[in-house]
Amino acid sequence: MVRVKKIETVSLVLVLVLELVVAATATNVTYDHRALVIDGKRKILISGSIHYPRSTPEMWPDLIKKSKDGGLDVIETYVFWSGHEPEKNKYIFEGRYDLVKFVKLVAEAGLYVHLRIGPYACAEWNYGGFPVWLHFVPGIKFRTDNEPFKVEMQRFTAKIVDVMKQEKLYASQGGPIILSQIENEYGNIDSAYGAAGKSYMKWSASMALSLDTGVPWNMCQQKDAPDPIINTCNGFYCDQFTPNSNNKPKMWTENWSGWFLGFGDPSPYRPVEDLAFAVSRFYQRGGTFQNYYMYHGGTNFERTSGGPLITTTYDYDAPIDEYGLLRQPKWGHLRDLHKAIKLCEDKLIATDPIITSLGTNLEASVYKTSSGSCAAFLANFGTQSDATVTFNGNSYHLPAWSVSILPDCKNVAFNTAKINSATESTTFTPQSLKPEADSSAELGSQWSYIKETIGISKNDAFLKLGLLEQINTTADKSDYLWYSLRMDVKGDETFLDEGSTSVLHIESLGQVVYAFINGKLAGSGNGKQKISLDIPINLVTGKNTIDLLSVTVGLANYGAFFDLVGAGITGPVTLKSAKSGISINLASQQWTYQVGLKGEDTGLGIEDSSEWVSKSPLPTKQPLIWYKTTFDAPSGSEPVAIDFTGTGKGIAWVNGQSIGRYWPTSIARNDGCTDPCNYRGTYKATKCLKNCGKPSQTLYHVPRSWIKPSGNTLVLLEEMGGDPTKISFATKQTGNNLCLTVSQSHPAPVDTWTFDSKISNRTTSPVLSLKCSVSTQFISSIKFASFGTPKGTCGSFSRGRCHSSRSLSVVRKACIGSRSCNVEVSSRVFGEPCRGVVKSLAVEASCS
């Protein structure tokens, strides 16, 4: 008895010690009208979105490190319900869905986390992040005052909060999570739900607060978010945004760093000068928390892409690209911007800005502390003309659509239009599937195949009168749904004319349809929400089979009632005689249905099978064939991609891991591209486009961690028809070519900034800096150098009328043989080639 009491006493002491440790490490997070307040101190916070399932756990540490090196304080992520609970009450928190590990890695790097639980995510994710089983809960209506939905939403939200609490990951427990989000952009569409929408929104807020996380909650795009929920802004610009209460800080949860890509679309991109302008304007006008959506976009592995028709790449033109490499100069220019903003932090948190006009489209914002120190932002938000302004008795040149940051209200540390970071080339280097393979013939002999049965082949097929909507039929267990109809045609049928064709008319809600007549492909089509096909066919006297394969390419993820957006062949489907004009309505016939393909059920993508055929010739350019080959890992450590040029459309697996849907035959429209794009003026998703008339995506990311040194397996489900021997592997390399232009009007590098004007060696001249990104490389050649008035862009530089003859020799001397170099941009270094002209130094260099 005495021993039991002693053990109980020791246990109690341990519990008290643990509680004291938690209390000692706990962080108090609140907010006031200026900022989030962490342990009693206002914070200027710079955040970036990284979605943990769109990369791999092996990639996470490097992505987080590059984010911190880029000047981020916070990592923001959605929580993906469909990934964590693909079946009700069966949870996944491992692999790419190991949310706890991701949050802990962020904490280990010394960064905070903004956890956007939602649980609606949008995010161009399949079904907006909702698991499709939710659609089949009796009586459910999504995102409105509906009891079945609220029960499920609260259950999952509470589950995530509980998992975080168990691991002590909230700041109130000593963890990194300083902010959580409930719902997502509901204010954009809540009017469609009427009064029930408003009551649901208020319930969501109350439910979230009841979970007692100890940190603030936010709602984005919800101008009537109830206290104490912080309403936040999403968009390309949020400088004009105002919170719904004077007690709440001005926060920007999604600053779209680029835009997503759809199959059949050209590639959107956002110039960094405009992105930096938007960020600076936000902090200039009172903002204190800003998040890049995305900072790393990643990859839509498996069947996670939404849309519909969202590509497998989710690169988003983010500062860190899909493969985890820095996108330069975007990453570097934003890093410099963040340093300049942090130089102003003590002033920004001290007070509200005093904003004054300096002229038409010209504005100054000044932040002053009680001690008299100040910081200023000078903006020219005109789109046409540069301007010279007078501020505090000094003259400043402001390019159009730019902001200058003055941490001491006198000296410019940064201008959004003047880039001091070099452009770094990125290239894909082709690799062989087999090191010893030197021809497509050898490569083709290493492939095996299995032909998928055209039409019905599974025992679980079923009969149904009429045409069925696809999502309600498949529950999204597969992209594929077969609609099969048998017809017995007699020789005297009035619509069947010997030797003439009939027209099969098909209407579908999307996204791809293949029509097979008696086992042969007769036609196909695709579309986002509407497909209308007229296919000439030849029927025969006797038995005929019409097999229609409907294919989804991601489910809708955005908009009011998006969950009710259908897919599949819903009709009408008719057969019309081309000669007599007589039509038959096939939609009302009895159809046979099959969910998915036989090869999916037998696990051909992830498991071995004795059915694989290795004999020659390899069947190619035929629909619905499974292909398999083996390959050795490409040499080196660079990121890996597969170039699917030569194939049609399908899904691919590497060592049983689905790398997503491929569709290299989906071609972008020919018009609308603007490369380069003028960054001046309001940006929108269609303003800056490239790759018109080309495949939307040919290269598909294969994470290195999924590849073994040798004996890897690649499996393709080629649904459209292509030649797998044409595909190739490639590795992505960066930094072999560097380009930069710096003018005499550029600010000195922000790294050289100091508030101490007495320091004699303070750099005040602009500097052109180059650095090979690969640590083992050095600057090996200078392809171009001109100080004066050089013309052109990277890869096409040329001398202008004004040129210093010293240019090449000065730059070569400073840079050749070094990994990095700095060259002062001044006439003191290069001489005076022409007076009365603002001169620039343009350099193109190679690393090896």
DSSP H or E segment with residue 722: none
Assess contact for 739 and 795: CB atoms under 8 A: yes
Higher-confidence position of 300 and 24: 300
The residues spanned by each domain of the chain are 45-352, 425-436+443-452+601-733, 462-591, 735-752+762-847
- Does 358 have pLDDT greater than 60? yes
Tens of pLDDT, residues 679-716:
999 999 999 999 999 999 999 999 999 999 999 999 99
650-662 burial, b for 16+ CB within 10 Å, e for fewer?
A: bbbbbeebbbbbb
pLDDT band, residue 501 (cuts 50/70/90): confident
Cα–Cα distance for residue pair 846/848, rounded to 1 Å: 7
Provide the pLDDT for residue 15: 43
Residue 11, beta-bridge partner list: none
Residues 425-436+443-452+601-733, CATH architecture: Sandwich (2.60)
- Does 752 have pLDDT greater than 80? yes
- Does 18 have pLDDT greater than 70? no
Q: Does the predicted TM-score (pTM) go above 0.85? A: yes
- Does 616 have pLDDT greater than 60? yes
Cα–Cα distance for residue pair 707/640, rounded to 1 Å: 9
Provide the pLDDT for residue 754: 86
**Amino acid found at 694:** K
Provide the pLDDT for residue 432: 73
- Which range among 227-241, 727-741, 744-758 shows the weakest confidence by mean pLDDT? 744-758
Mean per-residue pLDDT over the chain, rounded: 94
**Catalytic positions:** 185, 254
The burial of 234, by beta-carbon neighbours within 10 Å (0-12 exposed, 13-18 middle, 19 or more buried), is given as buried
pLDDT band, residue 269 (cuts 50/70/90): very high
Tokens of 426: 């990125």
Higher-confidence position of 494 and 138: 138
Cα–Cα distance for residue pair 332/339, rounded to 1 Å: 11
Average pLDDT over residues 459-464: 97
Count CB neighbours of 359 within 10 A: 12
Residue 551, beta-bridge partner list: 480, 512
Cα–Cα distance for residue pair 840/489, rounded to 1 Å: 79
Tens of pLDDT, residues 372-430:
999 999 999 999 999 999 999 999 999 999 999 999 999 999 999 999 999 999 999 99
- Does 758 have pLDDT greater than 70? no
Provide the pLDDT for residue 443: 41
- The residues, ordered by sequence, that sit 6+ positions from 634 with a Cβ below 8 Å of its Cβ are 431, 640, 729, 730, 731
Provide the pLDDT for residue 604: 95
Tens of pLDDT, residues 132-148:
999 999 999 999 999 99
- Does 766 have pLDDT greater than 90? yes
**Amino acid found at 546:** I
Provide the pLDDT for residue 215: 98
Considering the four listed CATH numbers 2.30.110.10, 2.60.120.740, 3.40.190.10, 3.60.15.10, the one that applies to the domain covering 735-752+762-847 is 2.60.120.740
- Does 13 have pLDDT greater than 90? no
| DSSP-derived secondary structure letter, 243 | -
Q: Which fold has domain 45-352?
A: TIM Barrel (3.20.20)
- Does 14 have pLDDT greater than 60? no
Share of the chain above pLDDT 70, in %: 94
Tens of pLDDT, residues 792-842:
999 999 999 999 999 999 999 999 999 999 999 999 999 999 999 999 999
Which DSSP string corresponds to 555-608? -B-SSTTGGG---S--S-EEEEETTT--EEE-TTSEEEEEES-HHHHTTTTTS-
Share of the chain above pLDDT 90, in %: 90
Supply angle C-alpha 674, 678, 681, rounded to 5.
120
Helix axis angle, 194-210 relative to 147-166, nearest 10°?
A: 20
Cα–Cα distance for residue pair 628/446, rounded to 1 Å: 9
- Which range among 21-35, 534-548, 747-761, 773-787 shows the weakest confidence by mean pLDDT? 747-761
Cα–Cα distance for residue pair 652/642, rounded to 1 Å: 10
Tokens of 784: 């171009």
Residues 462-591, CATH architecture: Sandwich (2.60)
- Which range among 519-533, 548-562, 759-773, 800-814 shows the weakest confidence by mean pLDDT? 759-773
Provide the pLDDT for residue 17: 43
Chain center to CA of 512? 24
| DSSP-derived secondary structure letter, 798 | B
Count CB neighbours of 408 within 10 A: 18
